[in-house]
Structure 1
Amino acid sequence: METFEEMDSSNVPNRTWGEIISHAFDMYKGIFLYAILALVIGAVVSMIIQPLSGLDSRSFSEEITSADGDFSSINIWAIPGMKLYSGLSGIASLLLTPLYVGIIYLANKYDFKQRLQVSDLFIGYRQNFLNIVIYSLISSVIIAISIGMCILPVLFVIPLLLLGYPILLFENATFSEALSKSFKIAKENYMVFLGASFLGLLISIAGILLCGIGIVATIPFYMVVMYSAYIAFCGRPKQLNFNN
């Protein structure tokens, strides 16, 4: 596994969840427009997928309306195009993950006071793409299993995955190395990771309070929390250099 040289310790948050969230806020203020662009790109891809799958959104709406609150009776797989749409959406979500990892890279560039560019969002397609996608698949399965057990277990599992994407990006690690290192550091500092993850997720979904519109501006915040937690426990990585 290739590691990057640690830089000076200035502007590195203390290893507390409060310091990590505060640092993430400082970073997010400088990159949030790029983060919103990443979400818009993801939304456009989703809009393209629906007509390709032949999903009948009218039938889906009618099923929801006619259920009258009893959603257990709905057979979503009987809705025309739903199976194909789910399959294509799953594949698209995996392939879009490197785009969201680009938010972490932008936070790093902003941290180093480097000039930001739209092309920075796509670094995950040039740096360790395959391992990022595999890690995304594995972490999605872990989270899905946790949700299947109940909502509560997933809240305790998510902190263990907090450092995965920064490790993949800055250390060029394999998916197994990223999982192992993220789990190890999080277990040794679990309460800090739990606090940072919980508050980071809470802030990320806070936009729902603004009739759902504000979530576009807040949901990428969690990716920046990953970066702030990473530099708190692993140090600031050397700036990655790519010709944009």
Structure 2
Amino acid sequence: MKQNVESKINELLVTGYKTSFNSVFGKASDIFKGIAGYAILAFVVYFIASMIISSVIGLLFPVAAMDYNEVMDTIQGGDNEALRDLLTQYSQNTSYIYSIVNNLITAALYPILYSIFTMAYKFDNYKNVEISDIFIHYRDGKFLNIFLASLIISIISMIGIILCIIPGFIIYAVTLLVVPLIIFADADIKQALNYGVKLGFKDLGSFILLLLSIIGVLIVGLLLCCVGLIAAVPFVYVLIYSFYKEIVGFPDNHTEIDEIGTDIYKDNPYMNS
């Protein structure tokens, strides 16, 4: 993890920090206007890929083959409860396999959505955003950490929601900055989870408010005939980027991402005057 970012976070954990949501939303709106096309394209690519892969998984793991003799014997026995339990068992066996494989594939596709963080950073620092940025985290050496972090967060959050909705909700909230720490601060999984969660609990109210804002944005997108989700989902990631910048920021303002793309002021002759 970058030393200056780690030092900044440790300082924040001691002194605390304040978050201005007016600033976060304002900055997110300005950035989204500049990268909307690319961000929406990233979401569409992710959505289509996930739908295709989910369909393939469904074909590979169809409903478990039933022992029809056993089923017929159960039917003839007239025990409706036993029949229901038998059918449930077949369904669950397939469901568990499908869920595991589907979660693994979904986590592997998340870097496409997380590329929106990189797009936001580049635009925010006067860099050209490119279509190839959609797949940047498959080639920048951070895929494994992003994949594992996404998987861990999904599993823990799911368990929290199953046990009780509130713990799951809190887990989602305090882990919002985990992936940005991997992308922008070069944190490994342990560091990202450790510092991300600590920052979350340092000002839990702000993180919960952000999560509620995210849910609100998605609900609005859903109400707009679901079409609004095409813009709402990418905007959520820009919002998280803006939140990360508001809290952690970029102490050195120079990362690997700075080397990607081109300075629009340098390349545009109309801006050289």
Provide the rounded CA distance (Å) in 1 between the counterparts of 2:45 and 2:182: 22
Provide the rounded CA distance (Å) in 1 between the counterparts of 2:190 and 2:156: 14
Instruction: Identify the residue that residue 240 of structure 2 maps to in structure 1.
Output: 226
Matches within 5 A, 1:1-244: 1-3=1-3, 15-49=19-53, 50-51=55-56, 53-54=58-59, 75=88, 78=91, 85-125=98-138, 126-236=140-250, 237-239=253-255, 240-242=257-259
Provide the rounded CA distance (Å) in 1 between the counterparts of 2:90 and 2:118: 38
Structure with more helix by fraction? 2
- How many aligned residue pairs are there? 223
CA RMSD in angstroms comes to 2.9
Instruction: Identify the residue that residue 9 of structure 1 maps to in structure 2.
Output: none
Task: Return closer, same or farther for 1:76/1:226 CA change in 2, 3 Å cut-off.
Answer: farther
Contact 2:161 2:169 in 1 (8 A): no
The Cα shift of 1:80 comes to 11
Contact 1:94 1:136 in 2 (8 A): yes
Task: Return closer, same or farther for 1:119/1:82 CA change in 2, 3 Å cut-off.
Answer: same
Contact 1:56 1:80 in 2 (8 A): no
The Cα shift of 1:85 comes to 4.3
Question: Any unmatched runs of 5+ in structure 1?
Answer: 6-13, 58-72
TM-score (norm 1): 0.79
Task: Return closer, same or farther for 1:208/1:185 CA change in 2, 3 Å cut-off.
Answer: same
Tell which deviates more after alignment, 85-94 or 182-191.
85-94
Provide the rounded CA distance (Å) in 2 between the counterparts of 1:76 and 1:199: 40
Task: Return closer, same or farther for 1:231/1:147 CA change in 2, 3 Å cut-off.
Answer: same
The Cα shift of 1:22 comes to 2.4
Provide the rounded CA distance (Å) in 2 between the counterparts of 1:92 and 1:180: 25
Task: Return closer, same or farther for 1:86/1:187 CA change in 2, 3 Å cut-off.
Answer: closer
